[in-house]
Amino acid sequence: MRKALLWNNDNNGGVNCNLCAHRCRIAPGKPGRCAVRVNKDGVLFSRVYGRVIARGVDPVEKKPLYHFLPTSATYSIATVGCNFRCGFCQNHSISQVAEFTDYVSNDNDVNNDNDVDNNANDDNDKYDDCDGTDMSPQAVVDAAMRYRCPSVSFTYTEPTVFFEYALDTAKAAKDSGLRTVFVSNGFMTAECLSMAAPYLDACNIDLKSFRDEFYKKKCGASLAPVLESLRAIKEAGIWLEVTTLVIGGLNDSDEELTGIARFIANDLGGDTPWHVSGFYPRYKMSNAPPTGAASIERACKIGVGAGLRYVYGGNVNVFQDTRCPKCGAALINRFGYETEINGLTSDGGCGGCGEKISGVF
């Protein structure tokens, strides 16, 4: 285990975790809601530092990032854990460690406060390092360079919960001339983002809904901190792309999709790419119907109508190509994760009319 960042003691042996917007008050001998940060004798520790549960070489488009080093590979890592409880999580077997262990109370009702298991008996010994393979920050960087990846991505699960490890790895990556990527739910605190920002080059943030009720009932979280993080990431000059998973009957109304698109256009800027992905049955929603291509196409058209210049249909074959917002020329063609640059100049301009395309090229 590794001593955690961003916490302080209370006066009763507990600690206040200031890493994510839950701001858990953690009783002695107990973990936070993420299940991977534990209070041992009044000191907060990370149980996942250097414990890689998933790693791989991915196309950067898989994050998804369409305007950040397109056609490149990115070395991707994750530990177990998450601070959300999404019933539709595609990586639930590694993200939802709290669901598969007795590390935290089973009471995950979104209406409870942030006190975590205050009445349980202390049992410090059962909180050891989480599952995973030992991999130092420098080992991650070495692997990225060995596979000729120009970036390292913290992804698959929520990188906020393995922040100490991600931060040290990002610093090592920057020292070696590599770029860094967070793929996140955006529920970090301002303190966390401020500490990470100097070492981050790009983020893809999930904006799962534009209703607080959805976040509370479906994710065990809230909307406002995500919107605050999106604005702060943009203000910090980190390249930002946004993803919304469209789930039929839950967040796919014209009204809600318009609200998301207008927020992106007005608060983040019309040059911010919006990825609209189709839901596929997973985890606790394995019996729900998948999202059809027609729904994704409708959402994409709503985004264009709201003033977004770069809107993409994720995991369906609609709105895949990057087109010049001025002349309409196809500059980057995509089919799945197969990407081909056809009309984009080396400095990110349209080869036809010279229009500057927003991104990191």
Q: What is the pLDDT of residues 77-134, one digit of tens each?
A: 999 999 999 999 999 999 997 665 544 433 333 333 444 443 333 444 456 788 899 9
| CATH number of the CATH domain containing 80 | 3.20.20.70
13 belongs to a structural domain: no
pLDDT at 360 over 60: yes
pLDDT of residue 97: 79
> What is the mean pLDDT of the segment spanning 267-294?
96
102 vs 342: which has the higher pLDDT: 342
Q: What is the pLDDT of residues 323-335, one digit of tens each?
A: 999 999 999 999 9
- Of 317 and 323, the structure prediction assigns the larger pLDDT to 323
| Residues 182 and 239 occupy one common structural domain | yes
326 and 247 inside one domain: no
User: What is the C-alpha to C-alpha distance for residues 195 and 203, in angstroms, rounded to an integer?
Assistant: 15
Q: Is residue 112 part of a domain?
A: no
Amino acid identity at 125 = D
For the chain, the domain total comes to: 2
Which domain, by its residues, includes 352? Answer: 321-361
| pLDDT in the model for residue 317 | 85
pLDDT value, residue 117:
42
Question: Same domain, yes or no, for 238 and 348?
Answer: no
CA distance linking residue 181 with residue 153, whole number of Å: 4
Same domain membership, residue 337 and residue 281: no
Average pLDDT over residues 309-326: 94
Residues 339 and 224 in one domain: no
pLDDT of residue 103: 44
Parallel/antiparallel/unpaired status of strands 274-278 and 311-314: parallel
Q: Are 227 and 248 in the same domain?
A: yes
Residue 215 and residue 73 share a domain: yes
Domain assignment present for residue 41? The answer is no
pLDDT of residue 115: 47
Residue 177 lies in a domain: yes
Question: Residues near 186 by Cβ (< 8 Å), separated by ≥ 6?
Answer: 205, 206, 207, 225, 226, 229, 230, 233
Least confident of 97-101, 235-239, 277-281: 97-101
Is the pLDDT at 49 greater than 60? The verdict is: yes
Quick check: is 352 in a domain?
Answer: yes
The answer to the question of residue 360 being in a domain is yes
Task: Say what the pLDDT of residue 339 is.
Answer: 96
Q: For the chain, give the mean pLDDT.
A: 92
pLDDT at 98: 66
